[in-house]
Amino acid sequence: MKEITFQNPSLSTYDVYEFNDNEEGPEIVFTAGIHGVEQTAIHVAFQLIELLPNYSIKGKVKIIPIVNKPAYFNRTRTSPYDNLDLNRIFPGNKDGSQSMQLAHHIWQETREADYIIDLHCCGQHGSNYVMSLYQDYEEQYKLASQIGIKHVVRSGGASGQLFLEACKVGQQAALLELKGGQPDGMVDLETAQFALKRMFSLLNSIGVIKTQHGKNDVAIDDLIFHENIETISATKHGFFNPKRHSGEHCFKGDALGELDDEAILAPYDGLIAAINYPCYTFSGERMVRYAKLYENN
């Protein structure tokens, strides 16, 4: 028997970039590409890898820019091997299917981390926000202010997510949703630049690097917290024409868009997490992803 490897890289690998100057400090792990198509996230990770050698590191930074190579090369959210959503199966299983084994290895890889930042995308018509478990873990407020992305959205709490399972075992972890990615892979460069700045600010804030600009936490009072995201779907076949943009706040009753001649109204004060482009839309299809303002703001 001989084994022929006809293509590199193998799809059962991932690369870990490690930055460490043997000085005491916290360990932070950045992951991207758990959902393979989410390319703005992947781009941010690669830019961090490019820029971090310019800094001296206290503690350790680990970056895994493409966690899920099969999904990355397939330009899909899930793996073509077993169709599993990697971000629903942590901590994985070393004897399970390809994705289960991958989850197991990534879980092991991140056990020493004090912080885990899992970079994702929420689509070409999405916006930038932090998924957080602020209602369950008090420390999530501090982490949100260190990340400094103004909009914080409560996670729906689906189990098996890397950041959620990490929070359960006492790590500081958050999931960032960035514009871009779906449906067929797309890097939103402006968003990537914004996210990169926030990540350097976070590294500064937790003491892993020093930048000239000093730490740049956003005050907790300047963050806006939201409930988990709900979907506003079409109730009939028609032409959806958006009137607002993703990332905007609306008041209850504001017109988000029109479906033919029917106004689609904001059901309460909240954030447009994502809104579709003008599109002929079928009954039951999503038009808007909307997060209600958290009452305790």
Token pair in block for residue 44: 């941010």
HSE-CB at 284 with a 13 A cutoff on CA atoms is: 0
Q: Does 120 help bind Zn ion (rule: CB under 5 A)?
A: yes
Residues between 24 and 83 with contacts to Zn ion, criterion CB under 5 A: 35, 38
Distance CA 226, CA 134 (A): 10
Hey, which residues does 240 pair with through a beta bridge?
259, 279
- When the beta carbons of 38 and 227 are compared against Zn ion, the nearer one is 38
Q: Residue 200: which of 23, 30, 18, 20 has the closest Cα?
A: 30
Query: Quick one: 38 or 188, whose CB is closer to Zn ion?
Result: 38
Using CB under 5 A as the binding rule, whether residue 289 contacts Zn ion is answered as no
179 binds Zn ion (CB under 5 A): no
Residue numbers 209-248 binding Zn ion by CB under 5 A: none
Measured distance CA(93)–CA(24) in Å, rounded? 32
Does the footprint of Zn ion cover residue 292 (CB under 5 A)?
no
Nearest residue (CB) to Zn ion, 37 versus 287: 37
CB half-sphere exposure, 244, CA atoms < 13 A: 26
Tell me the number of residues near Zn ion by CB under 5 A.
3
Q: Measured from the CB atom, is 27 or 38 closer to Zn ion?
A: 38
Cβ(113)–Cβ(60) under 8 Å?
no
**Least CB distance to Zn ion at residue 285 (A):** 20
The DSSP bridge pattern shows strands 129-132 and 262-265 to be: unpaired
Stretch that binds Zn ion, among 89-97, 117-125, 230-238, 242-250 (CB under 5 A): 117-125
User: Residue 103 Cβ, how far from Zn ion at the closest point, in Å?
Assistant: 14
The answer to whether residues 181 and 124 touch, using CB atoms and an 8 Å cutoff, is: yes
Quick one: 60 or 120, whose CB is closer to Zn ion? 120
- Chain contacts with Zn ion (rule: CB under 5 A): 35, 38, 120
